[in-house]
Amino acid sequence: MTQKLPEFNNNDADNAADIEMNLTGMKCPLPVLKARRQINQMAPSAVLKITADDPAAPLDFEHFCDTGGHQLRSSTEQAGIFTFVIAKSAG
């Protein structure tokens, strides 16, 4: 089943990641908690790419970015695997 996700800029150059995390096999809330721990250690505007298979991940990462001031640059789903590209807030 393919889930309709919001449209984003999927330009590879804009979405090049500084760090990639494979969080498949983890269920809510672990993917967001691990991503938060990682992004807190990153420089402002650094880019984190996450793969996850938890069905709650799209909503969880959208909320994580909204509340943390981070930019969700890309959100895609293919065969039950979600990929998120997040730029850490500048401030």
Residue 1: CB atoms within 10 A of its CB come to: 6
Radius of gyration of the chain (CA): 12
Peptide bond into 31 cis (omega under 30): no
DSSP letter (8 states) at residue 88: P
Residue of 5, 17, 26, 28 marked catalytic: 28
Q: Is 65 a catalytic residue?
A: no
Active site residues: 28
